[in-house]
Structure 1
Amino acid sequence: MKSFKIQLFTALALAIVFVLSGCSQKEVQTLPAFTLTPFSADEYVSSVDNFVIVLDASSSMDKPYMENKKFDMATQIVSRINRTLPELGQNGALRSFGHSPAISDKNTVLFYGMEQYATYALGEKLKMISEPGGTSALHTALTASGQEELASVYGKTAVIIISDGQPEFSLESPITLKTAQALKDQYGPELCYYPVLVGDDEKGAVLMDDIARIGECGFVSNADNLLTNAGMAGFVEDVFLAPKPAPPVAAPAPTEIKGLNEQGVWVVEDTHFDFDESIIKPAAFEYLDHIAEIMQAYPDMQVQVQGHTDSIGTKAYNDALSMRRAQAVKTYLVNKGVQKERLSLEGFGFSKPVASNNTAEGRALNRRVELHRK
């Protein structure tokens, strides 16, 4: 009989262990498996300068939703954001509100940042937020963010709020919305809200929608979607990333551009002006068109347009005439699509001849315009 009782007790104990183990396994399995979608730093840049993840760890998050604790879903979302997001020099922070007294006796705690984002560091700090409890003091967390982590940074900031949207006891959503609005007013268009609703509470959904509208530049997401691979990848890309712009085409060396001499100067031979004239001759049009095409192909190129004259007449008159000739060439190039800010003017009068002013041929060569790459 004694042996039978021992066997019965053992069987019951094993059955209990099996049931508990099965429930635990079932709970873990309900969260979708995660396959990382890589985002290469070679292809993306950060679209934000700073981000703050505000994690709801209050007692309402200890309740089940779709066979999982809402707290487990929320922490898993933070973990998956952290694993997906590439380190691109942005600043990051992780703040929670609520949580068990065993974690902290404060109703909001900044666990990580504000500092240059590092995947490992944020992941280690996330582990410290291990147990929910306490009240849903979202408004307290937002106020603290404005006073602490956001007070020392500048630029575009994303505030990601992961919560079920449950109110703090008798405090209804207006106090939360008032605080969210105050933070938005403080940081202006640079701050955007990206609430993530965990669960299906109708009032919580309304609160998350209202917060996103206050931000004006963010959007609401659902935890169910973010726990899918595609949903997480899309969220990270939309909130944090922008395609890396193509590198600017470097301006070629002077010898690589048709028409430039060894000094990197365009000498428009067919722009030799008639005596006392600043009208461009039609023979120069094709060459100036070529220069306009080159400048449009290399938008970083800056050019100084220099006008010159022969030696007949006074210095003052020829200085003014040389400026009129330079202006005529600039106007032509601007009319061909070159931004006027890229073209500066200089008039040298007869101070820089390239030929003798004692002959008609030499004076004709001196009545010219040169374009110098800066």
Structure 2
Amino acid sequence: MRKAKFFLAVAAVMVTAGFLLAFGGSAQAKMVPKVDNFILFPDQSGSMYMTHGKLGVVKMVAAKDLMMKMNERIPELGYQGALDLFAPWQVVAEPAVYDRASFGAALEKIPSDQGIFNRLTPMGPGVSSLDSVLSGLRGKTAVIVVSDGGANKGADPVAAAQAIHRRYPDVCFHVISFAEDAKARSILKKISEIGGCGVYAEGTDLLADDQALNQFVKDVFYAEQMEPQPEVIVLRGIHFDFDKSDIKPEWQPVLDEGAEILKKHPQIRIIIEGHTDSIGTEAYNQKLSERRAKAVYDYFVAKGVEATRMKAVGYGELKPKADNATKEGRAINRRVEIKVVQ
């Protein structure tokens, strides 16, 4: 278990309001990568350059817009990212440590307009081409297929994806679908189900719902782990009457609680700092501040706190917390502060 760190929070308080508190550590979410690599794999076949019936824009234009939005949400967690197109196969960005700005520049290179005539959809051969990238990667890889599911030439795309998974069992196929018919949608869903680790999403849904897009990115790229935060120990000081260094009964509960906290946390070391107001000579106030610090030191020792964990020092009138020109300010300055150094 990671050794807890301890931080000091000291506040100047009036004589009637001093106290000592201890707070337990809280937990904070940390992003951890689910994958070692990812390949964003858009379909650039002829059908992707046709207008989407529901969206009213060219499918690739919508897909490119969605991929740019997705890029804005992918956290930079050290995995490698690549961008390859299929049908026909085209390398846009070789595998490299993912950097949002560089990957965004690569996405801009995807053509928003291409001819449709005689551009069939060899989806199966396109999936098979992944072998040329996957052979150079190690670890878990997410392949994110962005397609309308059209497949009218070459091998069965589902069989091609299954063959890739058999060869590279650490590959997960995730799918963003722009399919407009049941057959195409079925092909894409079957691809996403290979290996039981893929995520399927409709491109229209991700474009319309930021929360859905955020969830897709999280499902593919990262998980959240709750990390305990360091425990925080807050030790408040105490105050003294004018020209006095004795501990008044009203402050004993504060110091008793402090002693208990210190005994429960034997790794803590503290500095006990004595202070005065500005009335009197500087030399006298220096000695008075040392007596005040020593009084708290002796109190803790009597309560069972090891002397070797503590150091008592005096600062005289050199470090006021408040204005010495007022009665209230001087009362605040007649104090001992307890500072945690470990």
TM value normalised by structure 2: 0.55
For 1:193, the equivalent position in structure 2 comes to 173
TM-fit CA distance, 1:155: 1.6
1:57 corresponding residue in structure 2 = 44
Q: Distance in 2 between matches of 1:79 and 1:93?
A: 14
Match in the other structure for 1:121? 102
Q: Is the 8 A contact 1:95 1:108 kept in 2?
A: yes
Say which one has the larger Rg.
Answer: 1
Contact 2:124/2:151 (<8 A) preserved: no
Structure 1 residues 54-76: Cα deviation after superposition (integer angstroms, max 9, x where no partner): 10111101111121111111111
Q: Which amino acid is 2:130 matched to?
A: S
- Matching residue of 1:219: 199
**Structure 2 unaligned blocks of 5 or more:** 1-27, 232-261, 268-342
- The letter for the 2-side match of 1:85 is I
Offset of 1:159 from its aligned partner? Answer: 0.9
Q: Does 2:164 align with 1:205?
A: no
Residue 41 of structure 2 aligns with an amino acid whose one-letter code is V
Partner in structure 2 of residue 239 of structure 1: 220
- Asked if 1:140 is matched to 2:125, the reply is yes
Per-residue CA deviation, residues 212-265 of structure 1 (Å, 9 max, x unaligned), is 122311121101111121221111111111114415879xxxxx887989xxxx
Q: Amino acid of the residue matched to residue 205 of structure 1?
A: R
Q: 8 Å contact 1:198–1:224 — kept in the other structure? A: yes
Structure 1 residue 80 corresponds to structure 2 residue 85? no
CA–CA distance in 2 between the matches of 1:127 and 1:184? Answer: 29
- Aligned position for 1:151: 135
Q: Deviations over 1:302-343 (max 9, x none)?
A: xxxxxxxxxxxxxxxxxxxxxxxxxxxxxxxxxxxxxxxxxx
Query: Sequence identity of aligned pairs in percent?
Result: 28
Cα contact 1:51–1:157 (8 A) shared by 2: yes
- Measure how far apart 1:138 and its partner are: 2.4
Q: Assess if the C-alpha contact under 8 Å between 1:71 and 1:132 holds in 2.
A: no
CA 208–248 in structure 1, closer or farther in 2 if over 3 Å, else same: same
Counterparts of residues 1-374 of structure 1 (less than 5 Å): 43-65=30-52, 66=54, 67-98=56-87, 107-130=88-111, 131-133=113-115, 134-148=119-133, 150-169=134-153, 171=154, 175-188=156-169, 190-228=170-208, 229-246=210-227
Output the amino acid matched with 1:132.
Q
Q: Give CA-to-partner distance per residue, 1:338-359, whole Å, 9 cap, x none.
A: xxxxxxxxxxxxxxxxxxxxxx
Is contact 1:108–1:137 with CA below 8 Å preserved after alignment? no
TM-score (norm 1): 0.50
- Counterpart residue identity of residue 127, structure 1: E
The CA deviation at 1:156 is 1.6
- The CA deviation string for residues 119-167 of structure 1, in whole angstroms up to 9 with x for no partner, is 111111112211334332322332222222x222222211110100011
* Inter-CA distance 90–206: structure 2 relative to 1 (3 Å threshold): same
* Cα pair 2:30 2:227 within 8 Å, conserved: no
Cα displacement (A) at 1:117: 0.6
Q: Taking structure 1 as reference, are residues 187 and 76 closer, same or farther at Cα in structure 2, changes over 3 Å only?
A: same
CA distance in 2 between partners of 1:185 and 1:142 (Å): 13
- Secondary structure of the corresponding residue to residue 181 of structure 1: helix
- The answer for the alignment partner of 2:13 in structure 1 is none
Deviation at 1:196, TM superposition (A): 1.3
Q: Return the offset for 1:179.
A: 1.1
Q: What is the distance in 1 between the residues matched to 2:59 and 2:39?
A: 20
Q: Which letter maps to 2:104?
A: G
Match of 2:334 in 1: none
CA RMSD of the aligned region, Å? 2.8
Assess if the C-alpha contact under 8 Å between 1:56 and 1:96 holds in 2: yes
Instruction: Verify the 8 A CA contact 2:29 2:227 in the aligned structure 1.
Output: no
